[in-house]
Every structure is written in structure tokens, then in C-alpha cells.
Structure 1
Amino acid sequence: MFDKLEDLLIRFEEIMGELQEPDVVNDQARFRSLMKEQNDLVPIVEAYKEYKTCNETIDDSLSMLEDESDEEMRELLKEELSDARRRLEELEHEMKILLLPKDPNDDKNVIVEIRAGAGGDEAALFAAEIYRMYIHYAERRRWKCEMISLNENGIGGFKEVVFMISGQGAYSRLKYESGVHRVQRVPETESGGRIHTSTITVAIMPEAEEVDVQIDMNDCKFDVFRASGNGGQCVNTTDSAVRLTHLPTGIVISCQDEKSQLKNKDKALKVLRARLYELEQEKQHDAETEARRSQVGTGDRSEKIRTYNFPQGRVTDHRIKLTLHKLDTILNGDLDEIIDSLIAADQAAKLANMQEN
């Protein structure tokens, strides 16, 4: 581990030197690449430098203890030694986590698909609530949200909604949200006061660039139709909505959020690219069963990941056995405690997997 850390420290100093070269800003691609590499290395380099300082403190304290006879001074040195040793252990754990292989998609924007499952109108109403939960969470983190397509049920529920969240580290935090979300509550339409269970599915896909997925336009069939629903003057007056069918996979995407047919076509292609990228990743995951086993629920749409129980005001994440009695604040976008716990569990599982191998 320490050989690797020394190599990273040397590379960090090389980058700092390159960034000070007067002509580096003339090559914007190189400049951006160096800046990104520098930002990625800063946390691990800072931790390693502090680790080395702690080691020096321990050596100095031990050396001074051998020569020091004043009891009060010896107590101070022992306390300093104890603090440095404790911090050294913390830094060693931090560095192991920072050296874990990074998910190449972590810095990407995400395309989110929410679909109502079992439960009819109640599931659609819950899908709309979960959509708002993610919008509130994105606002808290100053991420940008953009609607791609929406299929409503007429009473405020969403049969399906697809939208994009853009921002630093969006995928790194939201990737744990893929799966089946279950709600337990008394529906407004239920006169007998019985608790119903409904489900929705959430899919979190990294936005794929053209370099990630090449789409042959001969494999795509586009149909245009008139948009429906709330959309202003252009609704039902122009053929601005687009339906894209990808012939090899049978994937169908409809987009009608924009007034422009061209913009709707671009959005449909973005979703298609993300779905094809996700399919490719699933194939790789299936081939790397060990890596898949070491992950804490990041991708399987059929996995029941979380239950929102309204009568008891609690949310339970089944993957890490975490229960929080703060349903209202979570639905209002306060997801950090759940996501931080999932990240910690995922890192612990990966560390354990690396040590086994």
C-alpha cells in the first residue's frame, strides 16, 4: 500500500509542476485532464502527508520520553503519543478506502426512471412522491434537474417519469437508489382504513456520452405525434412529441416535454444511450460475479431495497438493516443519512473482499 502511496505522491508533485508551466492553459484538453487528476489525488495525498507527520510525531515523542524525567512533561508526551497513534489508525483506514478502485461513472450525471408497480393509482401517487423526494434532494445538493418524459394518471400520480439530474458526484450518491421501493399506508381512496402495500421501481443510470455508446441511426425508428397533457399552447397543435424505437433491443422511449421536436429527439437519444450503457454494464457485472457480490445493492431493479411505512413514520433500508423514524424529512429530500450509511457499508464490503483475495 505504501509503495502505491509514494507513487501517487510523486505523480501529484509532477502534476503540480506541469500546471505551473506557462503554456499549459493553451491546451485546454490537457489542462482539464491535469486539473481532474489533481482533484482526484488531493484527498489521498493529504491523508498520506498527515500519516507521515503522525509517524514523525510518534518517533519524536518516544525519543523525548526516553530522555525526559519531569513527570508533568512525560504525561503531556504520553498524551501526544496516544493521540498520534489513534489518528494514525484512522488515517490508515481512510487511505485504504481512498485506494479502493473508483467507479468510473461516479462523476457522471444520472438519468432517473421511476415507474409505478403493484398498487394501481396508489403506486402512481407514491411514484410522484418519490420523484419529489429526489428533486428536493437534488436542490439540497445544488444539482440541476431536467424533465425528460412524464406519464400521469389524472389524479396527480405518475405511471412513469424520466428525468435527468446533473451535478458533481450525482451518480456516486444516487446509484444506491436503484431497485424496488415499497410503501405501506392507508390510501385516500380506502374507506375501511386498511393498510395497503404498493411498490414502484427506480432505475438510476449514468448519463452515457457518445464515446461510451455508439448508436447506429439505422437501428432507430422515430415516430412523431402530438403531445398531450399540460404543456401550453403547443400541446395538441404540433407534432412535437417523439417516440424512439431501438430495433435491435426493442427499447421504446417517448419524449414530449419540449416544444421542439428536435429537442425531444435529442432527449430520447440520451435516454437510449443510458439504457444501452446500463445493459452493457449488466453484462460486465454478470461476468464479474465477485465484484457484484461485494456491492451493496447498486443496480438490480428487481431487488426490494426500501420500505416507507406511514403508520409508524419509519423508513427501512433492507440492504443494511437501517431503520429511521423520520419519514417526513426523508420524503422532503433528507437522504444523506441513508446514502452515507450505504456508502460506508459498500466500502466495508469491498475492503473485506480485497482482504479475502
Structure 2
Amino acid sequence: MLAREKLDQVIDRFAVLEARMAAGADADDYVQLAKDYAELQPIVSKARALIQAESELRGIEELIADEATDTEMRALAEAEREEAEARVEALETEVRLLLLPKDAADEMSAILEVRAGTGGDEAALFAGDLFRMYERYAALRGWKVEVLSASEGEMGGYKEIVASITGKGVFARLKFESGVHRVQRVPATESSGRIHTSAATVAVLPEAEDVDVEINDADLRIDYFRASGAGGQHVNKTESAVRITHVPTGAVVAMQDERSQHQNKAKAMKLIRARIYEAERERAQAERAENRKAQVGSGDRSERIRTYNFGQGRVTDHRINLTLYKLPEILAGEALDDVIDPLITDHQAGLLASESA
């Protein structure tokens, strides 16, 4: 059942916000009031639709129950009742979803990390396929992708690639991608046609801003060193590479892709900030999970979450037993929502079940 008391509190709170904004709050207060108003507006709009639908249903039921109602009118009312009941049920579910506790990180941009796992060169090629899938998906949604660091595989693809994906709600769409992705296919280098299985690991972290994570300079150890790899004389002349260690958590990030020490440090700090924020977020979630069992997966990055079978053209997400025979479209980013949407729906269903319990 819908928590009516909670819904009434939201509607009352919305009315107070409307009154305070209309009364002419000062600039600082108005910004916060407008933010709170915008967050509650979708809930209140849907709640009002629910209240109206319930009122209409009561009217229909009263008409049916009234002995003075003629046979023809009663038949019409009974035909309308089923549709009205379905509308109320659907609106109740939508309102309950809107009332669920929000993940504060959902609206954030994200740091995407893709690493080749078992499988050697083929794993690096698969890591490249996955990264391009996310890159195309981001482009379709109007998000900006910036590669922070990359280590290419000998035959192509990536041993490791880290990128920032900037846009509204990036983390909400990509957070269930964290885990081990497995591929089954015949490698281009395989002459006998044998199917190989290899894997890549994906990690998606909320990209925290300065205001989200407070980092004490005294907790950082920053080392500068000469970049390795291609780069000619520049590599040997300047210590442009940066390694930052966050001593309290042990998080370490090294960055050497840029020629400027300042640019490398800025990128490294962005990644350190994201990892610290995610560690704190996971700790808080683990505490909540002790009281709430319904979750999509454990979020454990060691678990196999998805298999891409090229021979059968299928993609299977093992967490929700979802199989789709549209592998090319998914890898092109065009049909990735067909996997993501059911994961989000399943997650919400778990949250609703736990709320009811």
C-alpha cells in the first residue's frame, strides 16, 4: 500500500515552498527553495493525478452501488471501473517509485574504467569494444567523453582505459555496468576457428565535485617523475608525470598522458576524488544494505554480470536472467538501453519490496 502519510507530508511541504517563493524570499534562500521545489514538483504532479483518479473511481463505484441507477448506466459504469482501477494502480506505483529514497550520486557525471581481464590480447580487444560501446552510447545521449588515461593493447584495444563522462544523470544510467563482462567469440588471430572466452572489468564511479568530497592536503602524497613510453626528448627532460596517494584510504592514481605536470595533476585529482567519494558511498550503502536485502547484484566488481556471445549474437545479463539477441546493436550503443532499463526496473522493484516489508 502507498504510504499516505508520507505523501501528505510531501504535498504539504510543496505548498509551503510555493508560499515562501511567492512571498519573495531573498536571493540565497530562493536558490535553495527553487531546487527543493523542482525536486518535489514531479511527485506532487503525479500525486494530484492519483487523487483525481481515485476520486473518479469512487464516483463510478457510488454510481454502481446506487439502486436508482438504471441498468444501461450501471453497465457503462462497470465497463469504466476496470479501466479506472488500472489507472489508479499504475499511478500508485509511479508515486511509490518517486517517493523512494534517491541515490545522491544519480544525477552526477561518472568516471568509467575499463580493464582487460583474463584472455591476453583478446581481452584487450574486448575492452576496446566495451569502451567504444559506452562512447557511442554517451554520444547518443549528448554526453561528453574525455579520456583521462589509456594503455593500449599490443594487438589493439586497451589494457586499461579511464574516461570522464560528463552529463546529467550519467551515473544513474551506467552504475549497473560495474562488474566483469565476459566475451565468447573466435579471435581474429585464431586459425582453427575455436571459440575463446575472455573478460574485461568495468568500474563506474560517480564523478565527485570539490564540494562533494573534502580532501585535506596533508592527507595527500604527491610524487613527480619522468613519463615513460613514446614522447621523444620531452620524456627524458621533464618530470611531468604525477602520482597522487591518498594516505588515509590508500588510493593511488598515476597520470602521465599529458605533457603538462599541471594537467596530469588535475586529471589525477579528479580520479582520486571520484574513488574516495565512491568508497564512502559504498560504505554508507553497505550499512543500509544490512537493513534492506533487495538489491540488484552486490555491486561486487569481481562478479560476472554479463556475457557477450558472438556466435549466437546474444547478450545475457546474469543478474536478471535477461537474454537479448541483438549483440551488434548493443555494442553499437544503440540498444544498450534495452539492457539498462530492465536493470533499473528490477532495482526499483527490489526497493519497493523492501519499503513494503
User: TM over 0.5, yes or no?
Assistant: yes
- TM superposition shift of 1:264: 1.8
For residue 19 of structure 1, what is the aligned residue in structure 2? 21
Structure 2 distance, partners of 1:232, 1:143, is 34
Rounded Cα–Cα distance in structure 2 between residues aligned with 1:253 and 1:234: 22
TM-score by length of structure 1 reads 0.90
CA separation in 1, counterparts of 2:30 and 2:262?
33
Q: Which amino acid aligns with 2:7?
A: L
Q: Indicate the residue corresponding to 1:321 in structure 2.
A: 321
Q: CA deviation digits over 1:16-38, x for unaligned, max 9?
A: 333334455x33xx444333322
How far residue 152 of structure 1 moved from its aligned partner, in angstroms, is 1.0
Q: CA deviation at 1:323?
A: 0.3
Change (3 A) 1:351 1:235: same
The answer (yes or no) to whether the contact 1:110–1:166 under 8 Å persists in 2 is: yes
| 2:57 alignment partner in structure 1 | 58
In structure 2, the gaps of 5 or more residues are none
Other structure's SS at 2:7 match:
helix
Q: What CA distance in whole angstroms lies between the structure 2 residues aligned with 1:6 and 1:292?
A: 25
- The 1:84–1:235 alpha-carbon spacing in structure 2 relative to 1, beyond 3 Å, is farther
User: Are 2:109 and 2:207, in contact at CA under 8 Å, matched by a contact in 1?
Assistant: yes
Q: What is the match of residue 82 of structure 2?
A: 82
In the alignment, the residues of structure 2 paired with residue 292 and residue 68 of structure 1 have an alpha-carbon distance, to the nearest angstrom, of 49
What is the 5 A alignment of 1:180-191? 180-191=180-191
Hey, what's the Cα distance between the residues in 1 that align with 2:24 and 2:146? 39
Seen in structure 2, the aligned counterparts of structure 1 residues 188 and 64 have a Cα distance that, compared at 3 Å, is same
Aligned 8 A contact 1:286 1:292 in 2: no
SS at match of 1:103: coil
Q: Are residues 134 and 236 of structure 1, via their aligned partners in 2, closer, same or farther at CA, if it must alter by over 3 Å?
A: farther
Aligned CA distance change for structure 1 residues 156 and 251 (closer, same or farther; 3 Å)? same
Q: Relative to structure 2, which stretch is displaced further, 213-222 or 259-268?
A: 213-222
The Cα of 1:78 is off from its aligned counterpart by 2.5
Q: 1:15, 1:34 within 8 Å by CA — same for their partners in 2?
A: yes
Q: 1:232 to 1:170 in 2, by over 3 A?
A: farther
Cα pair 2:240 2:261 within 8 Å, conserved:
yes
CA drift at 1:84: 1.3
Task: Determine what percentage of the aligned residue pairs are the same residue.
Answer: 49
Q: Secondary structure at the match of 1:302?
A: coil
Secondary structure class of the residue paired with 1:213: coil
What do the CA deviations read for 1:142-188 (whole angstroms, capped 9, x no partner)? 11211111111243211111111111111111110111000111111
In structure 1, list runs of 5 or more residues that go unmatched.
none
Aligned residue in 1 for 2:355: 354
Match of 2:330 in 1: 330
Aligned to 2:8: 6
Equivalent in the alignment of 1:39: 38
- How far apart are 1:270 and its partner, in Å? 1.2
Q: What is the distance in 2 between the residues matched to 1:160 and 1:134?
A: 14
Count of aligned residue pairs for this structure pair: 351
SS in 2 for 1:210: coil
Pair 1:118–1:261, CA change in 2 (3 A): same
SS class of match (1:68): coil
Q: Provide the rounded CA distance (Å) in 2 between the counterparts of 1:227 and 1:20.
A: 61
* Greater Cα offset, 323-332 or 275-284: 275-284
Whole-angstrom distance in 1 between the partners of 2:45 and 2:214: 39
Q: Specify the alignment match of 2:171 in structure 1.
A: 171
Q: Tell me: CA distance 1:237–1:316, structure 2 relative to 1, closer, same or farther (3 Å).
A: farther
The answer to whether the 8 A contact 1:153-1:159 is kept is: yes
Deviation of residue 292 (structure 1)?
A: 6.6
- The offset of 1:237, in angstroms, is 7.1
Q: Which moved more, 1:208-217 or 1:347-356?
A: 208-217
Native 8 Å contact 1:208 1:273 kept in 2: yes
- 8 Å CA contact 1:315, 1:323 repeated in 2: yes
Q: Partners in 2 of 1:133 and 1:240 — Cα distance?
A: 32
Partner of 2:148: 148
RMSD (Å), alpha carbons: 2.4
- How far apart are the structure 2 equivalents of 1:258 and 1:225? 12
For 2:341 and 2:30, the matched residues in 1 are separated by 32
Partner of 1:197: 197
- Give the structure 1 partner of residue 299 of structure 2: 299
CA 1:234–1:293 in 2, change beyond 3 Å: closer, same or farther? farther
